[in-house]
Chain A
Amino acid sequence: MGTIDDLSLKDVTLDRLPRLKRLRELHFATRPEICVELPRNITRYMRHPDNPADSPELRAGRLYKYVMENKRPVIADENLLAGTTTARTIGVVLYPDFMALSIWPELETVSRRKKNPFGITRAEIDELNFDIFPYWPDRTIQEVARKDNGNPLCQRIMERIVFYIATKVYCISHTVPNYAMVVERGLLDIIREARERGLSLGGSKEDRAKKDFYQAVQLSLSGVISYAANLSREAERLAAKEVDTKRRQGLLEMAEVCKRVPAERPRTFREALNAIWICKIALHQENANVALSLGRLDQVLYPFYAEDIKRGMTPAEAVELVGCFWLKIADHVPLSPETGEELFGGSGSNQAVTLGGVDMKGEDAVNDLTYVMLKATELLRLRDPNVNARYYPEVNKKEYLDRLCAVNINTGATPCFHNDVSAVETLIGQGVSLEHARDYSSVGCVEPSSSGRAYGHTGCILMNLTSALEMALWGGKHRLTEDEEVGPKTKPAVDMTSFAEFKKAMETQLGWLINQVVTLNNNLGRAHQEIHPTPMLSALMEGCIEKGKDVIYGGATYNSSGAAMIGLADVVDSVTAIQEFVFDKKKFTMAEMISAINADWSGPYKRLQVMVKASQEKFGTDSRMARANADWLIGFLHDTFQSKENYRGGRYTVGYWTMTNHAGFGALTGALPNGRMKSEPFASGITPVSGSAPVLTSCLNFVARMDHTKIADGHALNLKYTPSTTTLPGFANTIEAFFKMGGLQVQFNIIDRKTLEDARKYPEKYPDLFVRVSGYTAYFRDLNPHMQQEIITRAEYDLATGTEI
Chain B
Amino acid sequence: MFDIEKFISGLSVDKALDRLGEKFLKSLEDETAETFLEALLAFMRIKFMLDPAYRKNIEGFRGRYQFRSRDGGVAVLVKFEDGDMKIREKASDDVNVIVSFKDGRALMNFLLSANRDILKGLLNNEVVVTGNLNYMYKFGFMANHLQLELTGNLP
Contact = CB atoms under 8 A, between A and B. Distances in A.
Asked if chains A and B come from one complex, the reply is yes
Given A105-B141, A106-B144, A130 B56 contact: yes
Contacts of A122: 155
A137 B144 contact: no
B130 A125 contact: no
A146 B57 CA distance: 25
A538 B24 CA distance: 53
A361 to B, nearest CB: 51
Interface in B33-62: 56-57, 60-61
A140 B57 contact: no
Contacts of B56: 130
Interface in B64-105: 96
Interface string B125-150: 10011111111011011011100100
Contacts of B128: 160
Contacts of A3: none
B137 A102 contact: yes
A357 B75 CA distance: 63
Nearest to B97: A137
B145 A108 contact: yes
A109 B144 contact: yes
B116 interface: yes
B13 interface: no
B119 interface: yes
What's the interface size class on B, roughly? 20 to 34
Interface string A330-347: 000000001100110000
Q: Could you tell me the dominant secondary structure of chain B's interface residues?
A: helix
A109 B151 CA distance: 13
A107 interface: yes
Contact of B122 (A107, A142, A143, A161): A161
A112 interface: yes
A130 B113 CA distance: 20
Contact of B123 (A151, A156, A667): A667
Nearest to B137: A104
Contacts of A343: 119
Given A108-B155, A480-B123, A133 B138 contact: yes
Given A108-B155, A109-B148, A140 B134 contact: yes
B118 interface: yes
A300 interface: no
A11 interface: no
B113 A137 contact: no
B95 to A, nearest CB: 12
A101 interface: yes
A481 interface: yes
Interface in A112-135: 112, 122, 125, 129-130, 133-134
Nearest to B148: A108
Nearest to A140: B134
A506 B144 CA distance: 43
Nearest to B140: A105
A105 B115 CA distance: 13
A343 B131 CA distance: 22
B155 A105 contact: no
A161 B124 CA distance: 13
A106 B113 contact: yes
A409 B88 CA distance: 65
Given A122-B155, A130-B57, A146-B132, A104 B119 contact: no
A111 B128 CA distance: 27
Nearest to B135: A137
Contacts of A109: 113, 144, 148, 155
Interface string A531-563: 000000000000000000000000000000000
Contacts of B60: 134
Contacts of B148: 108-109
Given A108-B148, A338-B116, A137 B155 contact: no
A107 B138 CA distance: 11
A242 interface: no
Contacts of A111: 155
A750 to B, nearest CB: 32
A137 B138 contact: yes
Given A108-B155, A130-B57, A134-B60, A159 B133 contact: yes
B134 A136 contact: yes
A668 interface: yes
Contacts of B143: 105
Given A129-B57, A338-B118, A108 B134 contact: no
A107 to B, nearest CB: 6
A162 B113 CA distance: 22
A342 B119 contact: yes
B133 to A, nearest CB: 7
A138 to B, nearest CB: 7
B130 A156 contact: yes
Nearest to B124: A480
B132 A143 contact: yes
Contacts of B125: 480-482
A339 B145 CA distance: 18
Nearest to A162: B122
* Central interface residue in B56, B111, B113, B145, by most chain A CB within 10 Å: B113
Contacts of A342: 118-119
A146 B123 CA distance: 25
Q: Which one of A111, A342, A667 has the greatest number of beta carbons of chain B within 10 Å? A: A342
B113 A105 contact: yes
Contacts of A481: 125
A267 B142 CA distance: 54
Interface string A40-53: 00000000000000
Contacts of A480: 122-123, 125
A679 interface: yes
A791 B33 CA distance: 38
Of A102, A105, A481, chain B has the most CB atoms within 10 Å of the CB of A105
Contacts of A134: 60-61, 138
Interface in A73-110: 101-109
A105 B144 contact: yes
A111 B111 CA distance: 18
4 smallest CB-CB distances across A and B, nearest first, come from A105-B140, A137-B134, A104-B137, A339-B118
Interface of B: 56-57, 60-61, 63, 96, 111, 113, 116, 118-119, 122-123, 125, 128-135, 137-138, 140-141, 143-145, 148, 154-155
29 contacts: A101-B137, A104-B134, A104-B141, A105-B113, A108-B144, A109-B113, A109-B144, A109-B148, A133-B137, A133-B138, A134-B61, A137-B63, A137-B135, A137-B138, A138-B132, A138-B134, A140-B134, A146-B131, A151-B130, A151-B131, A156-B130, A159-B129, A339-B116, A339-B118, A342-B118, A480-B123, A480-B125, A667-B123, A668-B119
